[in-house]
Amino acid sequence: MDIENKVIELIEEGKNETVELLQEFIRIPSVNPPGEEGKLAPLVADFMEKIGLNVEIEEALPNRPNVIGSLERRRGPILLWNGHMDVVPPGGGWTVDPFSGEVQNGKIYGRGAADMKGALVAMLMAAKALTDSRAKMQGKLLLTAVSDEEAMATGTRNLMERGYAADMAIVGEPSNLEICISHKGGFGTYLATKGRTAHASRPEEGVNAITKMMKIVLALENFKVGLSKKKHPLLGHPTLSINLIEGGIKENMVPDFCKIYIDRRSIPGETQESWLRELNGVLGPLKEGDRELEVNISFRYPFACLPMETPKNEKIVLILKNAVRRVLGREAVISGFGAFSDASFLRNDAKIPTVIFGPGRLSQAHAPDEYVEIEQLMSATKIYALTALEALRP
């Protein structure tokens, strides 16, 4: 039996263990915020040690660690698998316990099933099959379970700051087993207008910050029509959405402040600087026409989450395509990922050729009754393992 068949057989034999491990992970509410990855990290580390990986635990934030497992043979290329341990709060609308890991009709339900404890378990079980099979490899497999992806991306950025590097990487976000070679970026932006309070019976003596903001909102609505003219072959056009508004302090007072939050999703070629130029281009004429219009601009994050793009002929893409063909019996779908992820930092900051590939669908992420199909979970495990065998072939 060749090594690929042996590894696939081991994964099939471990199906029950895979399902049970994901159920165990889901039952640990590693919710962010507030940031409870420390509850899950010891289990991840114990499993890595049990299957023979070298394990390091490094705090990305207080009591919020990254867990790094490595399988190193002889000197050679480094393949990085990246998965996050944190999940968003469950929210309402569930028909099952969000932390039960309940199995129904071939699906495992629970917060994080798709985003992305399913992929993390698939990576761990793929690594187990590689060690159990005693597969000969040349180079290093680096499996990183990180904290804080759902908020500030501190975990993966911390890895980069500590000098971790790789020749290729897979981020296990739910891609429906499609190979995502690009994703949009995000420039979360706050705008605040300043006014002057006055008694509501004498509004002419004040400056109404909400009224000033109305002009900006209308101008942004007109501006975003032009965004539809920009096109990316996999991601479509960039978007702009005004998602929060706040203003005023009392019913009978002219408001002296108003604040909005703009969710600006970007495509490759756009930067935070180019967005700032566009925004000032919208605000400039308004300020010229209204000398009382005072606007402050601030960004939601201490970083710009840039769009990510990896060429379709990169080695990791070609290797994944081969693995998908072997496991699924069809050609891989090459696509873009609608949200942004830690792949941005691996690709843009660390310059690692990176793709997104994982079980589950993005439509399940952050939604009630989140689930992952067991069939996809098992297929992802096999594909990860075969990818490592080819990428680290001696």
Is the pLDDT reported for residue 134 higher than 70? yes
Can you give the pLDDT at residue 154? Answer: 95
Can you give the pLDDT at residue 301? Answer: 65
Residue 50: how many other CB atoms lie within 10 Å: 12
For residues 44-49, average pLDDT = 98
Of the listed ranges 106-110, 111-115, 339-343, the one predicted with least confidence: 339-343
Is the pLDDT reported for residue 1 higher than 80? no
Is the pLDDT reported for residue 372 higher than 70? yes
Would you state the structure tokens that stand for residue 279, as one six-digit string? 């925004």
Q: Please name the residues in contact with 127: beta carbons below 8 A apart, sequence gap of 6 or more.
A: 48, 51, 53, 69, 71, 141, 143, 385, 388
Residue 81 binned pLDDT confidence (cut-offs 50, 70, 90): very high
Q: Quick check: 325 and 331 in contact, CB under 8 A?
A: yes
CATH 3.30.70.360 intervals, the chain = 185-299
| 250-299: pLDDT as tens digits | 999 999 999 999 999 999 999 999 999 999 999 999 999 999 999 999 98
Residue 230 binned pLDDT confidence (cut-offs 50, 70, 90): very high
Can you give the pLDDT at residue 300? Answer: 78
For residues 135-141, average pLDDT = 94
Residue 36 binned pLDDT confidence (cut-offs 50, 70, 90): very high
Can you give the pLDDT at residue 209? Answer: 98
For residues 186-197, average pLDDT = 96
pLDDT cut 70: percent of the chain above it: 99
Is the pLDDT reported for residue 302 higher than 90? no
| Helix ranges, the chain (H) | 3-13, 15-26, 41-50, 118-132, 154-161, 209-227, 272-289, 315-328, 343-344, 374-391
Can you give the pLDDT at residue 74? Answer: 79
**Topology at the third CATH level for domain 3-183+307-391:** Aminopeptidase (3.40.630)
Can you give the pLDDT at residue 364? Answer: 96
Residue 303 binned pLDDT confidence (cut-offs 50, 70, 90): low
Would you state the structure tokens that stand for residue 57, as one six-digit string? 């635990």
Can you give the pLDDT at residue 171? Answer: 98
3-state secondary structure 168-194: EEEECCCCCCCEEEEECEECCEEEEEE
CATH 3.40.630.10 intervals, the chain = 3-183+307-391
| The model's pTM | 0.93
The yes or no reply on domain 185-299 and CATH 3.30.70.360 is yes
For residues 62-77, average pLDDT = 93
Is the pLDDT reported for residue 99 higher than 90? yes
Is the pLDDT reported for residue 245 higher than 70? yes
Can you give the pLDDT at residue 304? Answer: 75
Cα–Cα–Cα angle for 324, 327, 331, nearest 5°? Answer: 40
For residues 23-35, average pLDDT = 97
